[in-house]
Amino acid sequence: MGSLSDFERLARLPEAERERVLAGLNGAAAEALAHDWRWLARPEQLAPGGDWTIWLMMAGRGFGKTRAGAEWVRTIAENDPSARIAIVGATLGETRAVMVEGPSGILAVAPWWNRPVFSPALRRLLWPNGAVASLFGAAEPESLRGPQFSHGWADEIAKWPAGEMCWDNLMMGMRLGARPRVLATTTPRPVPLVCGLVARDGADVVVTRGRTADNAAHLADGFVAAMERSYGGTRLGRQELHGELIEDVQGALWSRDLLERCRVPHVPQGGTLSRVVVAVDPPASADGDACGIVVAGLGGDGRAYVIADATVEGMRPEGWARAVAAAAVAHGADRVVAEANNGGAMVESVLRAAEAALPVRLVHASRGKVARAEPVAALYEAGRVAHRGALWQLEDQMCGMVMGGGYVGPGRSPDRADALVWALTELMLGRWSDARVRII
């Protein structure tokens, strides 16, 4: 086996087998292996192959981004005496405290026999072979104007002050060596710098994503579970724990912040709902497209509560009709509202076949999806709608509906969001809504 495949295979051995391998080595060999990142790292912490310029590691807190960045710098410095590396944090203080001197920083990961000399006054790390790393803070972007480098490690770029200016100065200094490269490690936030890099994924940028839970073996016992309990139902949790980049769309009817303000853990006043409706946006064909199914109720406080997204995908009419009936029974619905523009007779028949007693109301749209959604979005702005818990797939579609009639959310159509609109129109807008109603 070649050396790379040896390390790849060793790194994937179960813990007990890895310990046996170490036990069979002499002291020097065991120590060398214990400091080799290819042996210690998870695959997603290793530099990707291919002809890239920027490696963006965008992952949740505790994923191991700092360790991966420090090990990447160490590998470059130990193997290239001519390397000139820029180490850039949000501030110069963070660069030193986290990236250099921190528990997962460059000095901590370096083996004793090849540790660089750190000169704080010079803002410099010098390796025994002559490789040099220089420290910078993004709060001083002009400090990167002039120096030149072969490599760069940029940490927490999502919180850099004057982020794009600092990044531009860093990239303009990448003019040494045969293949200048930059590693950017960050928890995702939808700032222009991060969004711009993600948009270039597959070109000169390679994006690695990951969650806090991926590194659970190296975190305090119970930490991941505790964080999920506290933040698992929030946008903050998706961003900081799951490493998701959650962007707001220009001109969207709903923003992420608005939906966060509308989130509640439960329906107040004992959870009593005076009305419950199940709204259905049937697929346009019988070939298994998604069928939007959303459950909402009217609380005693006069607010509407969206309590479930029961949407199903990949089902034929009889399948999604059974899902509608099951949602109606489970939540005690007094009405099923179904859009009938695409084959009203078929919608009625499949719902009746699934459950003859379903109280079905067919609604016919005279305007487009976004136009129908606008008065419903106004209800959210007025604080008259709340979401019980996290309904991420539904909310992602809502945030993709744009004023003027566009949809830029996930999937081909906002089926979940359209079902939501029908549900809240039935509950809150009544005869003033766009829908023309026929009782069956």
pLDDT in tens, 29-55: 667 766 788 877 888 999 999 899 999
Three-state SS for 2?
coil
Three-state SS for 166?
helix
Closest CA to 81 of 45, 114, 120, 103: 114
Sign of the alpha-carbon dihedral angle for 18, 24, 29, 31: positive
According to DSSP, the residues that pair with 87 across neighbouring strands are: 135, 153
- Whole-number Å distance between alpha carbons of 226 and 310: 27
What is the gyration radius of the CA atoms in the chain, in angstroms? 28
Residue 437 scores a pLDDT above 70: no
Q: Quote the tokens at residue 220.
A: 């305090």
- Whole-number Å distance between alpha carbons of 187 and 192: 14
Domains and CATH numbers, the chain: 41-218 (3.40.50.300), 256-439 (3.30.420.240)
Q: Do 84 and 148 meet the contact criterion of CB atoms below 8 Å apart?
A: yes
Q: Quote the tokens at residue 113.
A: 């026999």
Looking at residue 173, what is its pLDDT? 96
Is 371 or 293 the better-scoring residue by pLDDT?
Answer: 293
**pTM of the shown model:** 0.65
Q: What is the mean pLDDT of residues 176-184?
A: 96
Residue entry with tokens 């005496």: 81
Looking at residue 309, what is its pLDDT? 96
DSSP 40-81: HS-GGGSPP-SS-SEEEEEE-TTSSHHHHHHHHHHHHHHH-T
pLDDT confidence bin for 288, thresholds 50/70/90 = low
pLDDT confidence bin for 361, thresholds 50/70/90 = confident
Q: Do 365 and 389 meet the contact criterion of CB atoms below 8 Å apart?
A: no
Looking at residue 286, what is its pLDDT? 62
Three-state SS for 18?
helix
Segment 81-92, tens digit of pLDDT? 999 999 999 999
Segment 128-164, tens digit of pLDDT? 999 999 999 998 999 999 999 999 999 999 888 778 8
Three-state SS for 149?
strand
Q: Do 146 and 84 meet the contact criterion of CB atoms below 8 Å apart?
A: no
Looking at residue 264, what is its pLDDT? 87
Q: How far apart are the first and last CA of the chain?
A: 72
Looking at residue 9, what is its pLDDT? 64
Segment 201-217, tens digit of pLDDT? 988 999 999 999 998 98
* H/E segment holding residue 152: strand 151-155
Is 338 or 70 the better-scoring residue by pLDDT?
Answer: 70
Which residues have C-beta within 8 Å of that of residue 298, sequence separation ≥ 6? 273, 274, 275, 276, 304, 305, 427, 428
Beta pairing, strands 292-299 & 360-364: unpaired
Sign of the alpha-carbon dihedral angle for 37, 43, 47, 50: positive
Sign of the alpha-carbon dihedral angle for 409, 299, 388, 279: negative
Closest CA to 363 of 309, 410, 430: 430
Looking at residue 433, what is its pLDDT? 39
Residue 200 scores a pLDDT above 90: yes
Rounded-to-5 percentages of helix, strand, coil across the chain: 40, 20, 35
Looking at residue 197, what is its pLDDT? 94
